[in-house]
Chain A
Amino acid sequence: MSTFLGMPARPPRSPYGTGNLRGDEAFPRAAHHELGNGQLRRNLGRATTTIRAKRLDVTGELPDWEALRDAGSAIKTDAMNRLPELLEQLEHKVTEHGGTVHWARDSAEANEIVARLVKATGSSEVIKVKSMATQEIGLNEHLESVGITPYETDLAELIVQLAHDRPSHILVPAIHRNRDEIRQIFLDRIPGVDPELDNVPAHLAAAARAYLRQKFMTTKVAVSGANFGIAETGTLSVVESEGNGRMCLTLPDTLITVMGIEKVLPRYQDLEVFLQLLPRSSTGERMNPYTSLWTGVTPGDGPQGFHLVLLDNGRTAALADAIGRAALNCIRCSACLNVCPVYERTGGHAYGSTYPGPIGAVLTPQLAGMHAAADDPNSSLPYASSLCGACFDACPVKIDIPSLLVELRHQHTEQTGTTPEKLAMKAAATVMKRPALYRGAQKAAGLGRAVAGRDGTISRLPPPFSGWSDSRDTAAPPRQTFRAWFASDEGRAALRAAADEHDRGRTREEPDRSQDESDRSRAEDHRNHGEDGTA
């Protein structure tokens, strides 16, 4: 008889120090470096503007786009609500079809499992399909440390890998690089490349193809991630644009797939929804060029050894929390990055995590924790947003990212002890709840007139407001508050005059009610439309 030890009070987060879920610096500091890079700003601005326009075109042409978003949201929510059951079903089906399932609690376990499986094949190199999960756990770094060479085969991932750089976008990892930079990277790092290589995109692609083909033909082991894992059938899926992924998924003898446990979908038919939502949201295409689906092992066709590594790495911890659970619905389309005004200026590296942009600012602290007391850079991520809400509008599964960011900020302030900011917030609330104190504070604010220049503006403020005054003037406070005016003789007279104006207008002519009526009915239409939206 076994002894039930119970669930841990709090499921483990991704361990501190392994993988790529944490940067070296807080967001404002990291953003400072990126903002200074004019080339990066131009590359990013051009790329995100193009993808944004394409996405709006192809989502706008679907009459049932909103219904598809609702369906996507409902399917993911259902999957998260019965994740344990679905994962066991997936394990059962994969095993039934000749695959082997491994469970990894965290990045270290997943890395060890993959390295062990590769070594068992006798190979010292692997080809890789673009994968966020393996990026998250730092698999390449681990494989290299045990003498296995990983080759990224996605063109953009290859560029990043050759440059010893980090990806800066979920979908377009080399979005921060232009073709001149890419040409130089290829000249420096691809063995035997034509020294006359120019910066024409087709020539750059050809150089990468020649290099990669040789890898495809000679490497016996491939590592992939998964966009979807179907519990009902045990089918895994990768969607991509180049076909390099399919080469990896079909040519080698052994295929190892690392899949975050949140990628499970209940039914095969659910793909109908996601194969429409994902490409339209991510690349602005109606359909992605390559959709690969495989179920276990097929004798005589494709890899004869298939391993599925199911990765937790903080996902159960996220699932245990209402906020985190919503974030796990993410299908990694990157639509939120492409519409985010913060991402557009800073790029992905400023977020320090494999998952940048608005969803990264939500997901990363959920998976890896914020450890506010330890000055964790992740605790700055929930604040890396102006809460403009463009991400919520763009999300194909309707994740309310702005509200989640506000909730994470709340969690952060609850986790931290007393800070100057917290004291200031308490003081402000105390003043504001007592009208007498409030009026006193308003008077004090009015004294700001004394420091204003002759033009009525204040151009320099002390910390913590100096960041504001570095780029903006502040108008001197007015002589009179609104409430003082409202209670004054002048205010009463002005309002009496306005009321008289109305009365005079009435006696002179009857207002045109028909115009008002039609405005009112149009207003109702708008209101209903608004409520049907994502407000």
Chain B
Amino acid sequence: MRIGLFATCLGDTLFPDAVRSTAILLTRLGHEVVFPPGQTCCGQMHINTGYQREPVPLVRDFAEQFGDTSIEAVVMPSGSCAGSVRHQHATVADRYGDSALRAGVATVAAKTYELSELLVDVLGVTGVGAYFPHRVTYHPTCHSLRMLRVGDRPLRLLRAVDSIDLVELPGADSCCGFGGTFALKNAETSTAMLHDKLDSIATTGAEVCTAGDSSCLMHIGGGLSRIRSGTRTLHLARILAATRTTPDVLTEAAA
């Protein structure tokens, strides 16, 4: 399958390992990964902060970059960006776009998937040949959980990983407190939520906390680092891309 990879602005700039792992994983599963070079950002930060005029060019760019009919599916290692493309781009196009934009947005939204959805629903795999001999706990990010309804797809992928020790996270479906600009505008409330999440992670004794969103992991990982916790964060794609023969795709320090 010819799959368009959207790196997301955060993934491209700050967490390239997660995107790299996504590209390697899909290629190893026999698919062609294309990276439209004009891509930048889905505009989610703008929309969620209350700006809908400003991201119109971003929404248009996204539809153009991935509109090519030879791209059969669009994937991104981020539940919240996939949620934005699928649910919010239409709102922006309805309000400030023309009929061409509305049509373009609808076409691209229909073939857009978060990584676990693409693997399980479109490519029909749960066992991806990964090997990861570590104790891992999974945090379901809010937008994956409630906007996309990914359900247990990430957990099914993780359970199929060779030698993994997967432990349940207590209160997993509670928000970690990131919320994009919420973490800046309501920093103290965000921190209170973060600390409860860190306490939950600590009870699992996990070496790694994983999730499908680099943004939430940036927040959780930043908190874990600050309290000098031994637990590190790793995007789901990086665990799924690790194999016995190539464990060292994790070249750079953990995010």
| Residues in A lying within 8 Å of B, measured CB to CB | 27-28, 31-32, 35, 41, 341-342, 345-346, 382-390, 392-393, 406, 408-413, 421-422, 425-426, 428-429, 432-433, 435, 438, 442, 445, 456-457, 459, 464-465, 467-468, 470-475, 477-478, 480-483, 485-487, 491, 494-495, 497-499, 501-502, 505-506, 515-517, 519-520, 523-524, 526-527, 529-531, 533, 535
Does B49 touch A at the CB level, under 8 Å? Answer: yes
Q: What is the CA–CA distance of A106 and B35 in the complex, to the nearest angstrom?
A: 57
* Contact between chains at B58 and A429 (CB < 8 Å): yes
* Contact between chains at B219 and A516 (CB < 8 Å): no
Inter-chain CB contacts under 8 Å: number: 240
Residue among A388, A495, A523 facing the most chain B CB atoms (10 A cut-off): A388
* Contact between chains at A386 and B17 (CB < 8 Å): no
* Contact between chains at A475 and B35 (CB < 8 Å): no
Q: Which residues of B contact A345 (CB under 8 A)?
A: 189, 192-193
A520 (CB) vs chain B CBs: closest residue: B124
A41 (CB) vs chain B CBs: closest residue: B192
- Give the 3 A-B CB pairs with smallest separation, nearest first: A467-B187, A386-B179, A409-B50
**B223: which of A387, A406, A472, A524 is its contact (CB, 8 Å)?**
A472
Q: Which residues of A contact B37 (CB under 8 A)?
A: 435, 483, 487
* Contact between chains at B54 and A425 (CB < 8 Å): yes
* Contact between chains at A433 and B17 (CB < 8 Å): no
Known: A483-B12, A494-B24. A31 touches B186 (CB 8 A): yes
**A502: which of B28, B178, B180 is its contact (CB, 8 Å)?**
B28
* Contact between chains at A387 and B179 (CB < 8 Å): yes
CB distance from A474 to the nearest CB of B (A): 6
* Contact between chains at A386 and B146 (CB < 8 Å): no
Known: A435-B38, A467-B187, A486-B23. A429 touches B153 (CB 8 A): no
Q: Which residues of A contact B20 (CB under 8 A)?
A: 482, 485, 491, 494
Question: What band does the interface of chain B fall in when counting residues whose beta carbon is under 8 Å from A?
Answer: 35 or more
Which stretch (B40-48, B104-112, B162-170, B204-212) binds chain A?
B40-48
Q: What is the CA–CA distance of A487 and B23 in the complex, to the nearest angstrom?
A: 13
* Contact between chains at B222 and A474 (CB < 8 Å): yes
For the complex, would chain A's binding face be called helix, strand, loop or mixed by DSSP majority? Answer: helix
Q: What is the CA–CA distance of A382 and B61 in the complex, to the nearest angstrom?
A: 28
B50 (CB) vs chain A CBs: closest residue: A409
* Contact between chains at B46 and A483 (CB < 8 Å): no
Q: What is the CA–CA distance of A35 and B193 in the complex, to the nearest angstrom?
A: 11
CB distance from A517 to the nearest CB of B (A): 7
* Contact between chains at A465 and B184 (CB < 8 Å): yes
Does B252 touch A at the CB level, under 8 Å? Answer: yes
* Contact between chains at B175 and A388 (CB < 8 Å): yes
Within B207-255, the residues touching A (CB, 8 Å) are: 218-219, 221-223, 225-226, 245-246, 249, 252-253, 255
Q: What is the CA–CA distance of A475 and B232 in the complex, to the nearest angstrom?
A: 12
Does B148 touch A at the CB level, under 8 Å? Answer: yes
* Contact between chains at B17 and A478 (CB < 8 Å): yes
Does B33 touch A at the CB level, under 8 Å? Answer: yes
1/0 contact string of B47-85 vs chain A (CB within 8 Å) = 111111011011001000000000000000000000000
A476 (CB) vs chain B CBs: closest residue: B253
* Contact between chains at B146 and A410 (CB < 8 Å): no
CB distance from B187 to the nearest CB of A (A): 3
Does B127 touch A at the CB level, under 8 Å? Answer: yes
Q: Which residues of B contact A412 (CB under 8 A)?
A: 50
* Contact between chains at A438 and B28 (CB < 8 Å): no
**A524: which of B17, B121, B149, B218 is its contact (CB, 8 Å)?**
B121
Q: What is the CA–CA distance of A392 and B38 in the complex, to the nearest angstrom?
A: 35
* Contact between chains at B47 and A471 (CB < 8 Å): no
Q: Which residues of B contact A384 (CB under 8 A)?
A: 186, 189
CB distance from B20 to the nearest CB of A (A): 6
Does B133 touch A at the CB level, under 8 Å? Answer: no
* Contact between chains at B188 and A28 (CB < 8 Å): yes
Q: What is the CA–CA distance of A393 and B173 in the complex, to the nearest angstrom?
A: 12
* Contact between chains at A535 and B125 (CB < 8 Å): no
* Contact between chains at B179 and A432 (CB < 8 Å): no
CB distance from A511 to the nearest CB of B (A): 9
Q: What is the CA–CA distance of A481 and B27 in the complex, to the nearest angstrom?
A: 19
